[in-house]
Amino acid sequence: MKHDDRTHEVAGHNGEVQAESTFAALAAPLVDEALSHNASIHADASPESLHQLRVALRRLRSLWWAYRPLLDRPENTRQRSLYRFLADAAGKTRDWDILLELLAGERNEESEAGALGAAPACLLEARERALATSRETLVNADIRNVLHGALASTSKELNTAPERHALQKFAAKRVHVAEKSLRKRMRKASRAKRADYELLHDVRKAGKKVRYLIELFGPVLDDVGHDHTLKRLKKLQQCFGELNDVTASIALLRENTNLFSDETEAHAALALLKERRKACRREAVQLLREA
């Protein structure tokens, strides 16, 4: 499927680079990256390929959010919902990978050798079933045509819009809006009387959006403060990401304790993950208070 094939000036009459004309150049590499990782999943669904597909789709979702003021709102919402659906499809298998990785790590750290034993075959089998479902969902979604179609239609809408916006000013404004939202969520989470996972999760999502936008628009943003912000966000995301992984793994394990032939083994795994979650939550709250 071709993109809008009419020629458009990237720069406006005053020589400034335009946000509308730059969209395709920002989105196309992300689309190509997502399709490359999607192909990898069908050839060899490693945990890393699943993770990178989700990241590429999340970046696309953030880019469409950035351009939301310039686009038809219902259509923009539909596109972003679609990227979330595709990311969630890959995420079903990735959730099992994270659970298996966490349990392997806990086993390695456990002082009593063999307390949890090797990864239960039932969990490995569940991962393979999830992978089959992920592959089927992504195939049925026709992800290649969906992504190229979204890129083409959005590029056309932007390139035919009557109003032009300077990219530098537009990018700075959208990053500012995302940063403001992040600060608001950080304040709310840090003031909670007890560590509230949902509030901490909101901080994580808002932080990701800021990070993705800074990375996408980096070349046209003023350098002041953004390098420092990226370093701080990476540290925050590492901590909050681990908390999210452990929390999601606990929920997944609870939903599938019936897979274990030994109920004691399931309870032991849950107990270890709960301890890890408690430590991650303390670290996340401490980071917020230091911010």
Q: Considering the chain, what percentage of its residues have pLDDT values greater than 90?
A: 54
For residue 138, what pLDDT band results from cuts at 50, 70 and 90? confident
Q: Same domain for 33 and 22?
A: yes
Q: Same domain for 213 and 81?
A: no
Mean pLDDT check: name the lowest of 11-15, 74-78, 231-235.
11-15
Domain that holds residue 260: 166-291
pLDDT recorded at residue 1: 35
Number of Cβ within 10 Å of residue 168's Cβ equals 16
Cα R_g (the chain), whole angstroms: 21
Is the pLDDT at 24 greater than 50? The verdict is yes
Whether residue 261 lies inside any domain: the answer is yes
> Mean pLDDT for the chain?
86
Domain boundary among 121, 145, 165: 165
Domain boundary among 165, 195, 226: 165
Q: Which residues pair with 65 in a beta bridge?
A: none
Q: Same domain for 142 and 39?
A: yes
For residue 120, what pLDDT band results from cuts at 50, 70 and 90? confident
Give the whole-angstrom CA distance, residue 238 versus residue 289.
Answer: 16
Whether residue 177 lies inside any domain: the answer is yes
Determine the average pLDDT of the residues in 104-118.
53
Domain boundary among 165, 187, 205: 165
CATH number at residue 208: 1.40.20.10
Q: Residues 41-72: pLDDT tens digits?
A: 888 778 788 889 999 999 999 999 999 999 99
**CB distance 154 to 30 below 8 Å:** no
Whether residue 3 lies inside any domain: the answer is no
Whether residue 10 lies inside any domain: the answer is no
pLDDT recorded at residue 109: 53
pLDDT recorded at residue 106: 63
pLDDT recorded at residue 11: 44
Q: Same domain for 152 and 179?
A: no
Whether residue 1 lies inside any domain: the answer is no
Q: Residues 191-204: pLDDT tens digits?
A: 887 778 899 999 99
Q: Same domain for 158 and 67?
A: yes
Determine the average pLDDT of the residues in 214-229.
82
Tally of domains in the chain: 2
Whether residue 7 lies inside any domain: the answer is no
For residue 230, what pLDDT band results from cuts at 50, 70 and 90? confident
Q: Same domain for 121 and 172?
A: no
Q: Same domain for 78 and 188?
A: no
Give the whole-angstrom CA distance, residue 12 versus residue 96.
Answer: 49
Q: Same domain for 142 and 94?
A: yes
Q: Same domain for 24 and 151?
A: yes
Q: Same domain for 42 and 161?
A: yes
pLDDT recorded at residue 9: 40
pTM: 0.85
Q: Same domain for 103 and 174?
A: no
Number of Cβ within 10 Å of residue 77's Cβ equals 14
Which residue is it, tokens 């009459």? Answer: 13
Q: Same domain for 272 and 156?
A: no
Q: Which residues contact 181 (CB under 8 A, 6 or more apart)?
A: 206, 209
CATH number at residue 133: 1.20.120
Q: Which residues pair with 11 in a beta bridge?
A: 17
Whether residue 11 lies inside any domain: the answer is no
Whether residue 124 lies inside any domain: the answer is yes
